[in-house]
Structure 1
């Protein structure tokens, strides 16, 4: 890696250090509680996967650049300056072994938001050229094609034609003034097209107007995952511009955790202004329709169901009760996992980790945490509200020879809709 790349990265690290980062490092008491909250530590017992340790490059820059003691130690040779080899080594810790799930932040006794600092550290890593190839490729495709998986508009239109032909439903594009503009993730388009069909059926029953945008249908924000504010802002701006040009009332984030975080929570800050529309996760919208009496279901699942809480939706977004309200509409045998809700364990593939091929072995080892949860509840099927979680958990279940189907909450509800006469 060239010295110029390292200097860009070092400068980016310095730019990320603000009063909150300084306060976090100064207040850390090295208690190790964050380690016990991280599935990469609990399933490996490797102290190098302690969340605060993953921040060592950022901590070193803070200490040497912004503290008197750090400057003195560096000046007289008691501490070594950060170098490019350090960043090359730390790529594994900052990307492969962190999903940005936020569980470590929940348990920190002094209130340090460790995951926000990981996000800041990734800004420096990207600038220095030390992001994983899988995430670099996904980010390039997102910027140039519009989708991290390379899904283009014709592929979506083809799926829409199939659904309309098979069901007689109408899936509109570019309708102005609609109640909702629905976003999708590439995974839903290619792996779970039944999600879009479920949306069409639910909106028809509820009597709501909705639309897809041909200009911005992709919700996944790889900029948030890789750690590039510039990419994240570009991808959010496409959604915002499309929604405001169509004058929609609400943008619906799909069953994708980081897409929700990007557009709902980080979007206004990235854009530097508020939006002319509301942003809600599909689960929030479904629960509102339920409360309004517009989501009418019949019958119950015969199998025993449990629910996996997507980290960005539940822990980072606060959408805890809504999925449970919906589960209770269609299940009389719904059982909670240990540590369900705000403290549920990550699937192991969030934050872009699922796109890192070289991290597959570690990801599979970390999945033992989810396996233990499922072993305890003995459910017949696992329900969740994140397409990325579904794919990662399917891979994990296959690795451990566990025959448990994984269902999407939106599709499951649509299967129980009261049929119209």
Structure 2
């Protein structure tokens, strides 16, 4: 056994905690999780059944922690996990799993398969079986501060553009601000309109906010690749920046795994509670709405729908804010089939979009989202995750579907009172509690 494999297997033994042991013991092998996974439903290949994706981990659990498993191992009836096997499983653990959590939602005995795959990735990464694209992104995150290799000058350049467009000063390292705003690399490079929208919304609401020069990046590649030590480093940077600036709330941007990493896993990763709150931008906007500080005018006249990002909605619990916000500005909003917590993934979360060799499988899996859109016949798709937006735009182009994809924060900003947004005959709604 190679040293890297031995270390990887040792890590897999260590990550098998009480929840994982109980999940393996309680699994009734019903196969319901298969029908919840878009990689299975769109391919029909049984190897993409979610619980099957953790089979090597199950075997290690059986061999190391059960009497029957030890006997089977002793008499050669249960084969040890090998390098070749883990390499084969890389497609199942990384390329065909977005950690979306839909399989966990349908499990009749409550097994969190997403949690199991997340832990499985720990051993995969240590044993050298993580995809090169994710390894590179994580390396850049640790060494440079961003998975796309962006440095502070790139952020300052976008700040300058926004200041020129809006006439609003973009604060940097402002101590004592109410909010510290994080950005994902994709928002800095692909969707600078997000920062533009934030500046205009907070100006209207009269809120103080700031960017942090030492912690502007929200994306946590450590979570995606499955290495808790690296995820901890990336979360700690944000914690240090927020505490240094003495802010009250850190805002996670339109990015799914950034929210999961900082809001739900972060305190456990750094080993203590935060001295600040963490909210997704949708939660902040909805809070401003209930306070009467978010004032809009006019309505989107096109038929539109909302794609619920998995990590924000299903795993993060942010379900109603986006609907409250859309109700302020959209007169022809329609729900997808299986909306909210049961919505289907875009196919590129969990680091899949960073794996070049996973693209064909990702596009095949997108057929599930395509079917949702085809049955609605909408003119606009709204979402609140930059990664979802990129993946959906590329997939729509592949399937020759001309459908604009817009971030909800950007759309809200376009309808701020006094922005000159067009109106319908329908009267504007009052903010709802």
Bin for the TM-score computed over the shorter chain:
over 0.9
CA separation in 1, counterparts of 2:165 and 2:207?
Answer: 22
**How many angstroms apart in 2 are the aligned matches of 1:166 and 1:212?**
18
State the Cα distance separating 1:74 from its structure 2 match: 1.0
d(CA) in 2 for partners of 1:328 and 1:321?
11
CA deviation after TM superposition for structure 1 residue 346, in Å = 0.2
Map of 2:57 onto structure 1 = 58
For the residue of structure 1 that corresponds to 2:326, the secondary structure is: helix
Once the two structures are superposed, residues 176-231 of structure 1 have per-residue CA deviations (whole angstroms, 9 ceiling, x without a partner) of 11010000000000000000000000000000000000000000000000000010
Q: If the length of structure 1 is used for normalisation, what is the TM-score? A: 0.99
TM-score scaled by length of structure 2: 0.96
SS at match of 2:279: strand
Where do residues 16-415 of structure 1 align in structure 2 (5 Å cutoff)?
A: 16-415=15-414
Partners of 1:120 and 1:387 in 2: how far apart?
25
Separation in structure 2 between the aligned mates of residue 57 and residue 396 of structure 1, nearest angstrom: 32
Residues of 2 paired with 1:163 and 1:217: CA distance?
Answer: 16
Once residues 347 and 93 of structure 1 are traced to their aligned partners in structure 2, the CA distance between those partners, rounded to angstroms, is: 17
Q: Do the aligned residues in 1 keep the contact of 2:286 with 2:321 (CA within 8 Å)?
A: yes
Give the SS at the match of 1:81. Answer: coil
Give, in angstroms, the shift of residue 170 of structure 1. Answer: 1.1
Question: 1:291-321: CA deviations, max 9, x gaps?
Answer: 0000000000111110000000100011101
Q: Hey, what's the Cα distance between the residues in 1 that align with 2:411 and 2:324?
A: 13
CA displacement at 1:420 relative to structure 2: 7.5
- CA offset digits 1:335-380 (Å, max 9, x no partner): 0000000100000000000000000000000000000000011110
State the alpha-carbon separation in 2 of the partners of residues 410 and 320 from structure 1. 15
1:249 and 1:177 map into 2 onto residues whose CA distance is 8
Instruction: Report the counterpart of residue 431 of structure 2 in structure 1.
Output: none
Ranges in structure 2 where 5+ consecutive residues have no aligned partner? 421-433
Cα shift readout 1:147-180 (whole Å, capped 9, x = no counterpart): 0000100000011111111221111000011010
Question: How far is 1:18 from its partner?
Answer: 1.0
Cα RMSD (Å): 0.9
**Structure 1: any 5+ residue segments left out of the alignment?**
none
The CA distance in 2 between the partners of 1:160 and 1:19, in whole Å, is 47
For residue 423 of structure 2, what is the aligned residue in structure 1? none
Which residue of 1 is the match for residue 8 of structure 2?
9
Distance 1:30 1:395 in 2: 36
Shift of 1:77: 1.1
Rounded Cα–Cα distance in structure 2 between residues aligned with 1:404 and 1:103:
25
Secondary structure in 2 matching 1:12: helix
